[in-house]
């Protein structure tokens, strides 16, 4: 049966988002009723039996945001869907983008970038938490699709390779260098036993709690992931290279590049801003001393690295989107002509 009131291209997204919201609300109601399948009580700062949910079955009273708070968020998402169906237009599109942003920020997929390699290297991990994050990321992507499909029709994207603006390349190089210099170098030194920017006590904690394989995984994954940013300023980010079977020379869908890059940029900026805000709050409250910050300056600098990494990735993604848009194709702008 056709859904009345919205464009045909939006209907699959509405259905998919509705299934996601219904499933999420049903799971929370199940937890409120006493079930604990998929629930975790682990504190990520002090994991105890993470594979078993840290005693999730013994939890009697759910935290607000795991129970009724989450149900309230689900109701709000359902309202966004209803408005998209009943009142399509710019307001509904804005609601879809807001819902997508909320889900992606709450999912905090950056956590997965570090913890999954550690888990694969043998460190016990809270897979229930990982699963929940992946579901939230999927929900955020669905609402991105809904917001994009419910907006005004767009001209076809540019076909062929479109050089990006010069400023995009500069920001892309910043996005590649930051995780290498600001993350990989200090973590590699810590794994090797060099206390760069941290105290001896912190270094001893790392050596005691982090195996070599886990340390190597955590050190290498972020900078390797950062290299993907180069795709936003190179030909292979717009046209599939020769070594890709069956896709050689075909156009890379813009969303395949823009959406993941935008999600990661949003996550990095959010993490950087919130972490810095927490640090400032602790300093003002006296819970953290300035001497502690100076002694662990490398850890504090990492927060700035995340923020700068997110900003540079966001700017690079914007440049890619402008270069591959239909407007760029119609005006004939090239990388040498854009400022």
Summarize pLDDT for 190-210 with one digit per residue, the tens. 888 888 888 777 777 777 766
- Spans of all domains in the chain: 8-150, 166-331
- pLDDT value of residue 338: 45
Name which of 4, 160, 138, 17 is nearest 77 in CA terms.
Answer: 17
> Among candidates 54, 58, 69, which has minimal Cα distance to 24?
69
- pLDDT at residue 146 tops 80: yes
pLDDT tens digit string along 206-242? 777 666 777 777 788 778 878 889 889 988 888 888 7
> Cα 277 from chain centroid?
19
Rounded to an integer, the average pLDDT of 254-282 is 85
- pLDDT of 332 > 70? The answer is no
| Least confident interval from 30-44, 142-156, 319-333 | 319-333
User: In this predicted model, what pLDDT tens digit does every residue of 59-75 receive, in sequence order?
Assistant: 888 888 888 999 999 99
DSSP 49: S
Using alpha carbons, select from 106, 171, 118, 197 the residue that is nearest to residue 143.
106
pLDDT at 152: 67
Q: Where are the alpha helices (DSSP H) in the chain?
A: 11-32, 68-86, 90-107, 110-120, 127-150, 166-179, 185-191, 200-209, 212-226, 254-285, 290-295, 297-323, 326-331
Q: Does residue 188 carry a pLDDT above 60?
A: yes
């Amino acid at each position: 049966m056709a859904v009345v009131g919205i464009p045909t291209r939006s209907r699959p997204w509405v259905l998919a988002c509705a299934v996601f919201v219904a499933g999420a609300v049903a799971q929370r109601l199940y937890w409120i009723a006493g079930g604990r399948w998929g629930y975790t009580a682990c504190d990520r700062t002090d994991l105890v039996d993470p594979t078993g949910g840290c005693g999730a079955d013994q939890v009697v009273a759910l935290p607000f945001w795991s129970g009724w708070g989450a149900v309230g968020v689900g109701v709000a998402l359902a309202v966004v869907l209803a408005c998209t169906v009943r009142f399509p237009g710019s307001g509904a599109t804005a609601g879809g983008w807001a819902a997508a942003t909320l889900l992606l920020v709450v999912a905090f997929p950056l956590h997965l970038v570090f913890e999954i390699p550690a888990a694969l290297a043998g460190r016990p991990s809270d897979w229930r938490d990982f699963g929940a994050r992946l579901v939230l990321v999927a929900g955020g992507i669905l609402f991105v699709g809904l917001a994009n499909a419910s907006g005004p029709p767009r001209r076809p994207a540019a076909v062929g390779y479109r050089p990006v603006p010069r400023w995009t390349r500069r920001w892309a190089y910043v996005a590649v260098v930051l995780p290498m210099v600001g993350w990989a170098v200090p973590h590699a030194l810590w794994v090797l036993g060099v206390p760069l920017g941290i105290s001896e006590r912190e270094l001893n904690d790392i050596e005691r709690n982090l195996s070599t394989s886990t340390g190597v995984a955590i050190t290498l994954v972020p900078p390797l992931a950062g290299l993907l940013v180069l795709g936003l300023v190179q030909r292979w980010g717009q046209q599939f290279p020769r070594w890709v079977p069956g896709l050689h020379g075909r156009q890379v869908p813009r969303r395949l590049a823009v959406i993941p890059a935008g999600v990661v940029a949003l996550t990095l900026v959010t993490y950087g801003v919130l972490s810095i805000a927490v640090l400032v709050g602790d300093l003002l409250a006296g819970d953290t001393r300035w001497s502690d910050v100076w002694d662990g300056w490398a850890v504090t600098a990492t927060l700035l690295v995340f923020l700068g990494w997110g900003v540079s990735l966001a700017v690079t993604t914007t440049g890619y989107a402008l270069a591959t848009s239909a407007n760029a194709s119609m005006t004939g702008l090239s990388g040498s002509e854009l400022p």
